[in-house]
Amino acid sequence: MKAPHIITLILWAFGIVNLIEPFNGWIFYVAFGIFYLLLFAHLIECIIYRNKILKSKDSPLIAFSMTLIFGVIYLSSIKES
């Protein structure tokens, strides 16, 4: 796994842990913001790049899941045919 993938997974984990067991103080707001910013940005990417995602060699479920998790990191790996 490459560094951008690991960083993205750490940010997702930080936000999800905050949802399950909220942090105290300002860290709560940071984790809250990170989680919803990632979620919103990657949902928008799924909508904008829908055709590109559907043309990938992966199944649509896998492709949309990877886009939701990794965003443009995954989208850049899809080869244009």
CA 4, 32, 63, 48 torsion: positive or negative?
Answer: negative
Q: Could you tell me the pTM of the whole model?
A: 0.83
> Is 12:38 a contact under the CB 8 Å cutoff?
yes
Ranges of each domain in the chain = 3-75
Residue pLDDT, tens place only, 28-39? 999 999 999 999
Residue pLDDT, tens place only, 63-81? 999 999 999 999 998 887 5
H/E element holding 16?
Answer: helix 3-20
Q: Looking at 1-81, list the stretches that DSSP marks H as alpha helix, in order from N- to C-terminal side.
A: 3-20, 26-48, 50-54, 60-70, 72-75
Whether the pLDDT of residue 46 is over 70: the answer is yes
> Is 46:64 a contact under the CB 8 Å cutoff?
yes
The per-residue pLDDT for 81 is 57
